[in-house]
Amino acid sequence: MQMSQTSPGNLTAADVLDAYFLEARARLIELAATLDRIDRAAGSQAVQSDARLKFIHDSLQTLQRTQPGRAKAVQELYSLK
């Protein structure tokens, strides 16, 4: 099944940005704080190679893609192959 590129309801892109910007901002700050927390914790070096941490960093790279389908791509990163 092909992913549909229809609009979210009758919202314009500006509407979507207005509605979701603060939530996205809060989640990014929360993620930044989570990564800082891992770094501050005892044994942080030992988890640098943990696959879950790599997923997070790979996800952040995926967010920088310019084409749609980022959520699907991130889900696939976390999926068993």
Residue 28: CB minimum distance to other proteins, A = 12
- Residues 31-54: b if buried by 16+ CB within 10 A, e if exposed: eeeeeeebeeeeeeeeeeeeeeee
In the chain, the amino acid numbered 78 is Y
Q: For residues 72 and 43, what is the distance between their CA atoms, to the nearest angstrom? A: 32
**Is there binding between residue 76 and other proteins (CB under 8 A)?**
no
**Is there binding between residue 36 and other proteins (CB under 8 A)?**
yes
**Is there binding between residue 22 and other proteins (CB under 8 A)?**
yes
**Considering CB under 8 A, how many residues would be counted as binding other proteins?**
11
Residues binding other proteins (CB under 8 A): 22-23, 25-26, 29-30, 33-34, 36-37, 40
